[in-house]
Amino acid sequence: MIEIHLFEQLVAFADSGTLSAAAEQLHISQPALSRSMQRLEEELGVKLFDRQKSRLSLNENGELAVRYARNLLLQESSMIDQIREFDRKKRTISVGSCTPILIPDFVSLLSSLYEGMTISTEVTGDPALAQQLRDNKYQLAILHEEPDEKEFFSLPIESEHLYVFLPPVHPLADADGLYLKDLDGQTFLLYSQIGFWDGLCRRKMPSARFLVQQEYDVLGELVENSAFPSFTTDYIMKREPNRTDRVAVPILDKEANVTYYCTCLRSEKAKFRPVFQHFKGSSRT
Amino acid sequence: MIEIHLFEQLVAFADSGTLSAAAEQLHISQPALSRSMQRLEEELGVKLFDRQKSRLSLNENGELAVRYARNLLLQESSMIDQIREFDRKKRTISVGSCTPILIPDFVSLLSSLYEGMTISTEVTGDPALAQQLRDNKYQLAILHEEPDEKEFFSLPIESEHLYVFLPPVHPLADADGLYLKDLDGQTFLLYSQIGFWDGLCRRKMPSARFLVQQEYDVLGELVENSAFPSFTTDYIMKREPNRTDRVAVPILDKEANVTYYCTCLRSEKAKFRPVFQHFKGSSRT
DNA sequence: TCGGATTACGTGCACCGTAATGATC
DNA sequence: GATCATTACGGTGCACGTAATCCGA
């Protein structure tokens, strides 16, 4: 058994070229390093260096040992990282969502149900979101379609309907309803983190232009102070009373009227029973 | 950076089940091990154990860490072995030979030419012997055929002719020469370590039976005191005067009259120049 | 009461740093 | 003289062992 710090010092020497430089890099004295390398040779029972009195250099054995040592050090640090990561994962619930809209409520729900756990969330437009449950990237997902594979368990938790948000002067502002294709070619203000909606808009309106805004508040100001059409939903309107004079016209495409499902691996259903219980209780309303 | 002896102790604990047993196995005191495991947890920043006052056991993190640790320990010890092996190989010349007969002389030649080096030899019937030069299993080979690949360098060093060694009463004892196929079906005494000869006999005499003897001296006694035919060669007869009344009948198959080649990788020709020089000098005789 | 884990405490020595020496350019 | 490695030497921190304590079967 040879302690790993000897190999670390060997690698430092290989990187630096001289004992003194390596010692400095390692924050130890030169004699200490010199003795360490002697000890390493002794414990291996193999000469690792050519000693030319005032110049120390690796011989063939040493070169080989350095290659192995680099590998071993990598191995160890990756091992440590993985153990820590494994532990961390047990203390966090990662949620992947196709929409940003439910995140705040969902996080506060999880926080209250799983005290002490860290909740980490990501919004993604990736249609393979369900697969990432299987890969353990997420433990919970919010999807806009119910996955049909038997390994998943899911429950509808909310629905949302898309509206185009038009200035009153807009030619289409007094329509009762519109299809996205009717809006193709126009220029829209859009929030950047909108998950699957982004793909939907670009697919249905291939000729439209989108002014994408990272900051939600800035987007609000732009909506207030410009004539570009934008989007909103019933869910948003319920929470944020409309401060503008814009008109919300419902979008009629069926893909724009979605039900969200809370999904997990069936094997983890028990762990998340409280979550599903919550939505079962509230879904009657 | 976590020292490897902590992982070693962790594995010992996993193997033993209790700290006291593990401490005994490791030849340290129980308190020392207890503190080591606390230190390991601290350095990892991860709890590895369930502590039930009087019983310590691995938790999920601990189980994972043990799996990784076993791997790391294996890695390290294999690394150390390989470095030592690499060093040893530089101090030894390994010779693979298709025949045992030249080994003693060849070894003493190498010993005198390469003072301080260890000479290791193996006799094999493997027809891929030349390939094992390429794989660095051997640095020198004695072959009964000259390899045609350009990467090898070889020099003829000796020739040998096979004789069947018959009791005078044997029906074929007064033949001037015999082919192996004429002997098929009979039962022979055979030495076990005869390299390529073994394959030759079995190929040419598929119906013959062979009484294989591990000990060379025992074989000699059996030859003296039994009527089973055996084999000898001119090379052997030159060195060991025949102490029996057996008759040596030459074998006429061309494969049974061989020239031996000393072979090495062309890239190592320089290293073995003294060897080839020796045989060039002596081949005129 | 015994076996096992942890805590307390004193100690030794392994390893460190400083200083000196040797060697090479 | 400057740089670099090794040897000498004295000091100290850290990990060890012994002993004590706590806890559970």
- Those residues of chain B whose CB sits closer than 8 Å to some CB in chain A are 1-5, 8, 44-47, 60-61, 64-65, 68-69, 71-72, 75-77, 79-80, 82-84, 86-87, 90
| Domain limits, CATH 1.10.10.10, in chain A | 4-87
Sequence-distant (≥ 6) Cβ neighbours of residue A98 within 8 angstroms: A123, A124, A125, A129, A141, A142, A143, A144, A195, A196, A260
**What was the pLDDT predicted at B283?**
57
Closest CB to A44: pick one of B8, B45, B80. Answer: B80
Q: For domain B4-87, which architecture applies? A: Orthogonal Bundle (1.10)
Spatial distance from the CA of A37 to the C1' of D4 (Å) = 15
Query: Residues A125, A131, A136, CA angle at the centre, nearest 5°?
Result: 105
How close A3 gets to chain B, by Cα (Å)?
A: 6
Name the residue with the least CA to C1' distance from nucleotide C15: A32
Residue A176: what are its φ and ψ, rounded to 5°? -80, -30
**What was the pLDDT predicted at A283?**
57
**Fold (topology level) of B90-158+258-284:** D-Maltodextrin-Binding Protein; domain 2 (3.40.190)
Sequence-distant (≥ 6) Cβ neighbours of residue A179 within 8 angstroms: A251, A252, A253
Number of other residues whose CB lies within 10 A of the CB of residue B119: 17
- Give tens-digit pLDDT for B25-82: 999 999 999 999 999 999 999 999 999 888 999 999 999 999 999 999 999 999 999 9
Closest CB to A79: pick one of B61, B72, B87. Answer: B72
- A-chain CB neighbours of B87 within 8 Å are 46-47, 61
Residues A198, A123: Cα–Cα separation, whole Å: 11
- Give tens-digit pLDDT for B151-165: 999 999 999 999 999
- A-chain CB neighbours of B8 within 8 Å are 1
By three-state DSSP, how is residue B275 classified? helix
The DSSP call for residue A228 is -
**What was the pLDDT predicted at A285?**
47
Q: Which of A26, A43, A46 to mutate to test the interface with B (most CBs of B within 10 A)?
A: A46
| Domain limits, CATH 3.40.190.10, in chain B | 90-158+258-284, 160-257
Name the residue with the least CA to C1' distance from nucleotide D17: B29
Query: In CATH, which of 3.40.50.300, 3.40.190.10, 3.40.50.150, 3.90.550.10 is domain A160-257?
Result: 3.40.190.10
Residue of B nearest to A59 (CA): B87
Residues B72, A3: Cα–Cα separation, whole Å: 12
Spatial distance from the CA of B223 to the C1' of D10 (Å) = 76
Single out the residue of B220, B153, B231, B154 nearest to residue B186, CA to CA: B231
Minimum-distance nucleotide, CA of B22 to C1': C4
Number of other residues whose CB lies within 10 A of the CB of residue B260: 24
- Give tens-digit pLDDT for B131-181: 999 999 999 999 999 999 999 999 999 999 999 999 999 999 999 999 999
When pLDDT is averaged across residues B94-102 and rounded to a whole number, the result is: 95
Single out the residue of B199, B175, B176, B202 nearest to residue B188, CA to CA: B202
Name the residue with the least CA to C1' distance from nucleotide C5: B54
Q: How many CB pairs under 8 A join A and B?
A: 80
Q: Please state whether strand D lies within 7 Å of residue A38 at its CB atom.
A: yes
> pLDDT grade, residue B285 (50/70/90)?
very low
Beta-strand relationship, A118-123 and A92-97: parallel
Closest CB to B76: pick one of A72, A80, A84. Answer: A72
H/E/C letters for each residue in B234-263?
HHHHHHCCCCCCCEEEEECCHHHEEEEEEE
- Those residues of chain A whose CB sits closer than 8 Å to some CB in chain B are 1-5, 8, 44-47, 60-61, 64-65, 68-69, 71-72, 75-77, 79-80, 82-84, 86-87, 90
- Give tens-digit pLDDT for B185-221: 999 999 998 999 999 999 999 999 999 999 988 998 8
Q: Virtual CA dihedral for B222, B226, B231, B234, nearest 10 degrees?
A: 80
Q: Is A232 exposed, middle or buried (CB count within 10 Å of its CB: 0-12, 13-18, 19+)?
A: middle
Q: In this complex, do A84 and B1 lie within 8 Å of one another by their Cβ atoms?
A: no
Q: Which of A59, A60, A68 to mutate to test the interface with B (most CBs of B within 10 A)?
A: A68
Residue type, A277: Q
Q: In this complex, do B47 and A2 lie within 8 Å of one another by their Cβ atoms?
A: no
Residue of B nearest to A45 (CA): B84
pTM for the model stands at: 0.73
Minimum-distance nucleotide, CA of A57 to C1': D5
Show the low-confidence residues of chain A (pLDDT under 70).
283-285
